[in-house]
């Protein structure tokens, strides 16, 4: 059984993205250390925010994926997954275009994963439950990996203080500095690949 480790940056950025655009669907890419497709441990180290406007715009998605893939290769990383926060706060399902996108990723990486964001717990006010609900493919279907980020889970955080750190970032409004690919399309100087302006991560 494959185990997944998630560092605080890869955990925090999807939540900051969703916090910045609470009334929109947001999505992005998850990156892991290279060779994750052949390993029994997948180390997810980075999240790259893509969209809050054009979440179903295929040409823009293809452009973004190509740029992320080039960035990943240069930094000895690879695309391992997708994250999404649905527009409806109570919607905990994977929509059709999310499934199409992650199916495409899984054809390149058999250990692909989806992080579905629980909008009701985005600020991690319930510190016993993760705001990220990982889904992995099982029997041809994408299924929620239950009890995520607990001692018995296949998903573990590399830093035990991650929940507290993310709560602090959200309460301090750090999400305002987050840049996604949509913003980059309007301002090419916007650093959407590394989000270097996000302090504390």
Is pLDDT above 70 for 56? no
Give the number of C-alpha atoms closer than 13 A to the C-alpha of residue 179, restricted to the C-beta side. Answer: 16
Give the per-residue pLDDT at 81: 98
198 lies in a domain?
Answer: no
**Would you state the structure tokens that stand for residue 143, as one six-digit string?**
């299924």
Question: CATH number of the domain that 83 lies in?
Answer: 3.40.140.10
Total domains, the chain: 1
- Reply yes or no on whether the pLDDT at 128 is more than 80: no
27, 68 Cβ separation under 8 angstroms: no
pLDDT at residue 55, rounded to an integer: 63
> Would you state the pLDDT for residue 173?
94
Tell whether 191 is covered by a domain: no
Q: What is the per-residue pLDDT for 57?
A: 62
- Does 197 fall in a domain? no
Question: 14 lies in which domain range?
Answer: 3-186
* Cα–Cα distance measured from residue 144 to residue 148, given in angstroms and rounded to the nearest whole number: 9
180-200: pLDDT as tens digits: 999 999 999 999 999 998 877
Q: Is 194 a member of any domain? A: no
Per the domain annotation, does 56 fall within a domain? Answer: yes
């Amino acid at each position: 059984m494959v185990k997944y480790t998630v560092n605080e940056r890869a955990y925090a950025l999807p939540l900051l993205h969703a916090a910045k655009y609470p009334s929109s669907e947001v999505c992005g890419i998850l990156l892991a250390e290279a060779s994750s497709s052949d390993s029994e441990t997948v180390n997810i180290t980075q999240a790259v925010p893509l969209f809050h406007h054009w979440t179903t715009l295929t040409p823009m998605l293809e452009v973004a994926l190509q740029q992320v893939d080039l960035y990943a290769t240069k930094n000895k990383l690879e695309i391992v997954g997708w994250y999404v926060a649905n527009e409806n706060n109570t919607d905990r399902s994977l929509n059709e275009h999310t499934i199409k996108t992650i199916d495409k990723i899984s054809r390149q990486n058999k250990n692909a994963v989806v992080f579905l964001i629980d909008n009701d717990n985005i600020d991690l006010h319930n510190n016993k439950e993760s705001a990220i609900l990982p889904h992995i493919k099982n029997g041809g279907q994408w299924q929620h990996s239950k009890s995520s980020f607990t001692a018995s889970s296949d998903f573990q955080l590399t830093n035990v203080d991650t929940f507290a750190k993310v709560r602090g970032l959200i309460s301090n409004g750090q999400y305002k500095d987050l840049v996604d690919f949509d913003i980059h399309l309007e301002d090419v100087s916007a650093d959407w690949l590394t989000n270097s302006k996000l302090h504390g991560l």
